[in-house]
Amino acid sequence: MALDYRKCAEQIVSLIGGRENVAQAAHCATRLRLVIKDNSKIDKAALENVDGVKGMFESNGQLQLIIGTGTVNKVYDEFLSVTGMSAATKDDVKAAAAAQQPAWKRALKSVGDVFVPILPAIVASGLMMGVVEALGKAIPSFADTDWYAFLDMVANTAFAFLPVIVAISAARVFGGNVYLAAVIGLMMVHTGLLNGWNVGSADAINSFFGVTDGKIPSWNLFGDITIGDYVLGSISRHGYQGHVIPVMIAIWLMCKVEKWLHQHVNEMIDLFVVPITTVFVTALFTFVVIGPIFATLENFVLKGAEWLVQFPPGAMIMGAIYPATVVMGLHHMYNVIEAGMLSSTGLNTWMPIASAANFAQFGACLAVGIKCRQAKLKTVAVPSSMSAALGITEPAIFGVNFRFMKPFICGMVGGACGALFGSIVKIGATAYGVTGIPGYLTINNPGVYTILLLISGGVAFGLTMFFWEENPEPAAHAVDAGATNNEPAASSGIGTDIVSNTVMTCSAGKIGQPVKGSIIPYTEIPDATFASGVLGQGVGINPDEGIVYAPMDGEISSVAESKHAIGITGAGDMELLIHVGVDTVEMKGDGFNTLVEEGDKVVKGQKIMEFDIGAIKAAGKPETVVVLLTNSDDYDDFTVS
């Protein structure tokens, strides 16, 4: 009996709390995607029993109902008719789902979105910086060589110009011009400004500005107009090396200004007015507003830290909040505390606190790397943790721990425990500038220092392993919810040699090579639609033989009437399209023989189609086999091998 699309849509609307409980709705190849305002109003048990709904799961703030290829679009049309809503795209739904998240979750996601693309640069730099600094401390003579100077330059470039890299990535996230963002980032580390790492050094200030009072001069744009102690329009002439949050705020503002101007400036003068106005307004706000705010924060944190570290409970507090000051970009001024300690007592008791905090972030990040199942996350977390062990924590904090928050908090707890221990036993260092494992080169009691690292890293590691859970993958059982009783074919026709070659990977699983032949990027498929990626990312295969094997376990979701294309739904709701040849629908099945039907279950390596390469060529069609994961944008870790 044919499905009553109208009835199916009406039941869905009723069971999700009515039209007023739906923020946005769209559909993809097999699923109805809904953004729900109040999930408590959903009757999930009843939804799964609606005729036409084969399964359901929640992912990334969306309620996704599996309905099936060729049916979901009809149910969606009726859904729009019942609710009176307008059609939306998957991007509209994603934006609506994101808007439903709490503000702090949206902020964390933004930080993650900005940092994930730049992680290779800062992970590599972090590891190299740790090794170079350790070598310089271990072999003082090496620190005076040209090799050391060269390696130090190579290693710290990404961090010296971190605001530029962050600015470009942030512009992509917030939807602005990346070149204007690069200009803003470059301004924040301009050579005409004192390097931000030297803000607390009177000698560096005096040398750079030619002054003798150790105070950073200011530009007063509006003269001496004051509001209390604040001089209106005053700009402290120092850079923002090491800062992250100020850069992101600046680029977020830049994108808002740029978009507003594009909407309100006449197209005839847009090219001239928008860029210069955007840069000027952003620069003025960045240096006049953001600058004083963070300069004030630095002073408060510095004075508070100097007072707190005199007592064990205070050291514990600083061990906990130290990573938070790294996130804010305020940690570079701690060198002032260390220098003061060395000049007055000859012992730097701040270093064990910083080491405890940094090594705790190492422990938390390593736990994520060990516990996670996603290959892409593992390849980021493990090397980032090694960088943190060497004292360079930015890759671990921004790429992993702060992004998922729970590991970051576990690291704060571990840092507090280690710092408290260090303060009680009164260990210290004879120099400053290194923490973590390289800290052995300057610490006065290596044995006790080892215990401190074990406490801080161990507590953070254990807590993260216990409390942190990887985001759950879409339930595999959803695929089977409406499956037929058809069983996979027997072992005959198993092409294990072919499908063992993985061509795509995501958190839901691996997709093998379904056809013998040479692989090409999907962007080189001789069809504009496939090559654009609009139907999903994947690969093209120039076939050597006319046999298609199932590249993963799953269920046949569609078989084209012209037999040239097959859809497979796999674990985690992967939606795979195998399309043999380009424009071969026009061949109306000539030269194609499908061996499966819609609803059949298949196993990886099972023969599912035969086709005649000669017939395709004779018809004047490209024989390239298109293999696309049509919902590849659902997986943050999707990669093409």
Q: Which residues are catalytic?
A: 28
Q: What is the CA radius of gyration of the chain?
A: 29
- Angle (CA) 461-382-142 rounded to 5° is 105
Amino acid sitting at position 247: V
Residue 446 CB: number of other CB atoms within 10 A? 11
Q: CA 432 to CA 411: how far, in whole Å?
A: 22
- What residue has token string 């040209």? 146
- For 610, half-sphere exposure in the C-beta direction (CA atoms, 13 angstrom radius) is 3
**What are the residue ranges of helices labelled H in 210-345?**
245-264, 270-285, 291-308, 312-328, 334-344
Contact status, residue 141 vs residue 108, Cβ threshold 8 Å:
no
Q: CA 516 to CA 623: how far, in whole Å?
A: 13
CA distances from 199 to 241, 366, 555 (A): 10, 33, 62
Contact status, residue 292 vs residue 236, Cβ threshold 8 Å:
yes
Strands, E assignment, 406-516:
502-506, 509-512
Q: Which residues pair with 547 in a beta bridge?
A: 610
Q: Which backbone phi and psi does 92 adopt, to 5 degrees? A: -60, -40
The rounded Cα 377 to chain-centroid distance in angstroms is: 9
Q: Which of 227, 224, 206 is nearest to 215 (CA)?
A: 206
Q: CA dihedral in degrees (590, 591, 596, 597; nearest 10)?
A: -10
The tokens describing 623, both together, are 């024989």
CA distances from 431 to 132, 137, 501, 507 (A): 17, 10, 53, 45
Q: CA 362 to CA 383: how far, in whole Å?
A: 10
Q: CA 317 to CA 308: how far, in whole Å?
A: 8
Strands, E assignment, 392-438:
none
The tokens describing 641, both together, are 């091998």
Q: CA 46 to CA 55: how far, in whole Å?
A: 11
- What residue has token string 């005199």? 310
The tokens describing 216, both together, are 């950073």
Q: Which of 357, 599, 482, 413 is nearest to 67 (CA)?
A: 482
Q: Which helix (H) or strand (E) element contains residue 556? A: strand 554-559
The tokens describing 239, both together, are 């850079």
**What are the residue ranges of helices labelled H in 426-507?**
446-467, 477-480, 496-499
